[in-house]
């Protein structure tokens, strides 16, 4: 998992109250989502823009709709 953490990155957040650790996202997008321990979901909140298709599939795969992805490309820190 290599976070870019700057303009151009995707923006992802998972509602970890809602997440049930089903790991479907991890099968679909193993480079961006991973289970650590029994059920801690670790994910990259700022994947490279080229990964959009994969992340969108992970969003769809999550049975509890816990994953949110910003639709628009990131415009950097500029207000």
From the list ligand SF4, another protein, none, pick the one residue 74 interacts with, judged by a Cβ distance below 5 to 8 Å according to partner type.
Answer: another protein
Compose the 9-38 pattern: x for residues touching ligand SF4 by CB under 6 A, - for all others.
-----x----xxxxxxx-------x-----
| Least distance CB 25 / ligand SF4 (angstroms) | 3
Question: Residues in contact with ligand SF4, total (CB under 6 A)?
Answer: 15
CA 37, CA 64: separation in Å to the nearest integer? 21
Instruction: Rule CB under 8 A: say whether 50 interacts with another protein.
Output: no
From the list ligand SF4, another protein, none, pick the one residue 45 interacts with, judged by a Cβ distance below 5 to 8 Å according to partner type.
Answer: another protein
- The label of the residue with tokens 């298709």 reads 53
DSSP sequence for 1-62: -----STT---EEE-TTT-----HHHHH-TTTEEEETTTEEEE-SS--GGGHHHHHHHHHH-
């Amino acid at each position: 998992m290599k976070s870019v953490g700057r303009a151009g990155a995707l923006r992802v957040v998972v509602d970890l109250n809602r997440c049930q650790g089903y790991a479907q996202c991890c099968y679909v997008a193993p480079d961006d989502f991973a289970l650590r321990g029994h059920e801690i979901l670790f994910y990259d909140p700022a994947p490279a823009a080229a990964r959009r298709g994969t992340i969108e599939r992970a969003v769809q795969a999550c049975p509890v709709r816990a994953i949110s992805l910003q639709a628009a490309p990131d415009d950097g820190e500029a207000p």
